[in-house]
C-alpha cells in the first residue's frame, strides 16, 4: 500500500491534493518483469504525464521472498533530482524522487526510477502493488499539488530455476545405506541400493533430515544454485541396542535377551556390539550398563587383571569361583528336557535373563550398576528338582569390571561351595579393617596344605604363604609397607578356593 510521505526536511516536496487540469492523465506504473527464479532483477517505475512533473514518492511492499539490493537505486529523465530509496518495516521499499529547485522531469513518458531485488527460488507470479495513495507532484498556481490520476501494479513472473540435487547417504565407513528416509521441501524420499535419493529443487536454501533405523538422525541445510551432490554420513549410537536414540536399561535387557534367545522385536546389532568384536555377549551387557550408570571410570583408566574363574555344574545348580572382580557371567547348557529347567538366581542385587535356542539353554547374570559378583565360591543359580536331564556345559564366559573377557573353566559333578569349605576349616580374617598387620585363622582337619595369597584389586599377588600343619592355625600378614585400600585374601584348600576382602588403613 503506497503512503503519502511527510518530512520537514523535504519542504519542497510537500504536495496537497488539488484538482488537476481537466482531462490530463498522470500515471505511476511498475513495469512487468520475466526472469529466472533465484536471480537478481530490476524493478522499473515509469511515469506517463500530461502535466509537468517535479517528482514522486511511494511505498511498495515487496512480495514474500524478495529482498532489496542495497544501493541499487537509479533515476532517469532528471536534472538536479535526487532519489531516496530505503526499506522500512515489513519489507516495504520506500522511494522518493525530488528536486530542491523544483525542476521538472524531462519528457512526458518513460522510466523515472529503478532498483534491484533478489528473487526467491520458487517460480510463480508475484505482484508489486502500488494501488494505494502514491504521489506525483508538481506546482500548480504556486502550490505543491499531487496530480496523479492512476497507478498500474507490476507483475513479476519467475520461471525455471530447477536443479537436480542428489543426496548420498552412507554409514561411518562410507558404505551406502539403502532405505534411508530423506525429508526435504515437504517431500519424502527413500534412498536406493546406492544410498542415493534424487530430487528437483529450485534455487534457494532448504532444510533436510535423514532417518534410518538404528542410526542417529542427520540434519542439514542445502543451498541450491546449481546441480548438487550432497554426501550425508549417518552415525550409530553405541549401546543403543533397541534403536530408540537413548542408552538405558532397556538396551541392557535387549542385549541380554538377544544373547539368551534371539527373540527381540527391535535390535540394532552394530550398536549393541559395543566392543566391536562381532559377537553379542556378556561384555556388551557390562559395557552398556557402565555407559548409563557412569561407574568404574577410574578403574577403567587404571586397568584390571582378573584371574580365571571356575564354574561347577551339579544337578541342583551352578556355583562360581572368582576373585571378586567379575561383573557378569554367561553360560550355555545342553541336555534333555531343557524346557523344564528354570534357573533361579541366588545372587542378591543381580539379574538373570535366559532363553532356549536350538536345544541349548543360554543365560546371562549381571547387575545394572556393574556391582561385582562376590569373591570366593558361591552359588549362582539353582534348578528345580527333577528338571532337565543329562546336563552338560556347552559354553561359559565371564566379564570383569572393565568388560574385559575372563576365561571360565567348567566342571561337572563336583560339589563345592563356600559354605562347605567354611564349615570344614572354620576360616576367619581379622582384624578387618587392618593396619600394619592382620591374621587369617583356620582349622585344618586334613592332611592337605592350605595356600594363602594376598592379592590387590588388579589381580596381582602381593604375598603368598603356605600352612601345612594339621589343626588350628593363625597365619600373620605384615602389610605395614602396603598402600591403604582394598585387597583380597585367597585361601586354596583341596583344590577349592575361598576369597574375602580385607581393607588396609
The pTM of this model reads 0.53
Percent of the chain beyond pLDDT 90?
44
Closest residue by Cα to residue 96 from 109, 106, 108, 85: 85
- Assign 3-class secondary structure to 329-396: EEEEEEEECHHHCCCEECCCCCEEEEEEECCEEEEEEECCCCCCCCCEEEEEEECCCCCCEEEEEEEE
Q: Is residue 264 pLDDT above 70, yes or no?
A: yes
Distance (Å, whole) CA 151 – CA 382: 95
**DSSP string for residues in 396-435:** EEEEETT--EEEEEEEES----HHHHHHHH--EEEEEEEE
- End-to-end Cα separation, the chain, in angstroms: 87
pLDDT at 43 (0 to 100): 97
Mean local confidence (pLDDT), 213-236: 92
Vertex 14: Cα angle to 9 and 20 (nearest 5): 165
pLDDT (tens digit per residue) in 27-60: 999 999 999 888 899 999 999 999 999 999 999 9
Q: For the chain, give percent helix, strand, coil, nearest 5.
A: 10, 50, 40
Helical axes 249-261 vs 282-293, angle rounded to 10°: 170
Is it true that 244-416 and 419-504 share their CATH fold?
A: yes
Distance (Å, whole) CA 380 – CA 252: 20
Q: Is residue 10 pLDDT above 60, yes or no?
A: no
pLDDT (tens digit per residue) in 188-214: 999 999 999 998 888 778 999 999 999
Domain ranges of the chain: 8-158, 162-233, 244-416, 419-504
Domain 8-158 has CATH 2.40.10.10: no
pLDDT at 422 (0 to 100): 54
Percent of the chain beyond pLDDT 70?
87
Domain 419-504 has CATH 3.40.50.410: no
Domain 244-416 has CATH 2.60.40: yes
pLDDT at 494 (0 to 100): 64
Mean local confidence (pLDDT), 437-451: 81
- Torsional sign, CA 423, 317, 334, 274: negative
Q: Domain 162-233: give its CATH superfamily.
A: Immunoglobulins (2.60.40.10)
C-alpha cell at position 342: 528354570
Amino acid at each position: 500500500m503506497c503512503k503519502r510521505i511527510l518530512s520537514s526536511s523535504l519542504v519542497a516536496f510537500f504536495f496537497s491534493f488539488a484538482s488537476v487540469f481537466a482531462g490530463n492523465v498522470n500515471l505511476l506504473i511498475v513495469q512487468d518483469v520475466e526472469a529466472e527464479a533465484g536471480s537478481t532483477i530490476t524493478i522499473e517505475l515509469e511515469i506517463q504525464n500530461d502535466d509537468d512533473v517535479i517528482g514522486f514518492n511511494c511505498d511498495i511492499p515487496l512480495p514474500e521472498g524478495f529482498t532489496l539490493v542495497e544501493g541499487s537505486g537509479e533515476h532517469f529523465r532528471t536534472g538536479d533530482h535526487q532519489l531516496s530509496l530505503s526499506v522500512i518495516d515489513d519489507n516495504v521499499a520506500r522511494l522518493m524522487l525530488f528536486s530542491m529547485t523544483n525542476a521538472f522531469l524531462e519528457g512526458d513518458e518513460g522510466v523515472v526510477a529503478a532498483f534491484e531485488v533478489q528473487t526467491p527460488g520458487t517460480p510463480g507470479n508475484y505482484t508489486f502493488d502500488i494501488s494505494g495513495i502514491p504521489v506525483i507532484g508538481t506546482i500548480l498556481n504556486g502550490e505543491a499539488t499531487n496530480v496523479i490520476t492512476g497507478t498500474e501494479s507490476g507483475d513479476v513472473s519467475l520461471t525455471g530455476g530447477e536443479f537436480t540435487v542428489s543426496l548420498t547417504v552412507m554409514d561411518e565407513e562410507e558404505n551406502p545405506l539403502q532405505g534411508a528416509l530423506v525429508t526435504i521441501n515437504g517431500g519424502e524420499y527413500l534412498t536406493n541400493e546406492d544410498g542415493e535419493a534424487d530430487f528437483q529443487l529450485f534455487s534457494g536454501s532448504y532444510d533436510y533430515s535423514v532417518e534410518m533405523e538404528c542410526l542417529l538422525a542427520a540434519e542439514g541445510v542445502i543451498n541450491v544454485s546449481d546441480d548438487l551432490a550432497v554426501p550425508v554420513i549417518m552415525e550409530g549410537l553405541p549401546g543403543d541396542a533397541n534403536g530408540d536414540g537413548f542408552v538405558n536399561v532397556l538396551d541392557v535387557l535387549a542385549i541380554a535377551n538377544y544373547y539368551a534367545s534371539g527373540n527381540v522385536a527391535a535390535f540394532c546389532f552394530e550398536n549393541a556390539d559395543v566392543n566391536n568384536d562381532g559377537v553379542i555377549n556378556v561384555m556388551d551387557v557390562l559395557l552398556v550398563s557402565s555407559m548409563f550408570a557412569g561407574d568404574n571410570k577410574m578403574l577403567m583408566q587404571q586397568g584390571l587383571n582378573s584371574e580365571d574363574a571356575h564354574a561347577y555344574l551339579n544337578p541342583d545348580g551352578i556355583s562360581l569361583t572368582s576373585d571378586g572382580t567379575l561383573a557378569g557371567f554367561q553360560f550355555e547348557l545342553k541336555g534333555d528336557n531343557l524346557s523344564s529347567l528354570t534357573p533361579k538366581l541366588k545372587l542378591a542385587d543381580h539379574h538373570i535373563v535366559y532363553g532356549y535356542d536350538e536345544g541349548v539353554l543360554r543365560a546371562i547374570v549381571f547387575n545394572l550398576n556393574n556391582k561385582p559378583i562376590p569373591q570366593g565360591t558361591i552359588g549362582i543359580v539353582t534348578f528345580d528338582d527333577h528338571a532337565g536331564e543329562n546336563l552338560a556345559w556347552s559354553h561359559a564366559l565371564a566379564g570383569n569390571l572393565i568388560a574385559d573377557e575372563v576365561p571360565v573353566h567348567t566342571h561337572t559333578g563336583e560339589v563345592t561351595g563356600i559354605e562347605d569349605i567354611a564349615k570344614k576349616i572354620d576360616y576367619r580374617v581379622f582384624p578387618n579393617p587392618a593396619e600394619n598387620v592382620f591374621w587369617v585363622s583356620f582349622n585344618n582337619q586334613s592332611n592337605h596344605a592350605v595356600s594363602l595369597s594376598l592379592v590387590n584389586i588388579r589381580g596381582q599377588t602381593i604375598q603368598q604363604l603356605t600352612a601345612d600343619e594339621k589343626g588350628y592355625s593363625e597365619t600373620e600378614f605384615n602389610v605395614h609397607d602396603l598402600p591403604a585400600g582394598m585387597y583380597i585374601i585367597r585361601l586354596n584348600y583341596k583344590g577349592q578356593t575361598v576369597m574375602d576382602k580385607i581393607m588396609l588403613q
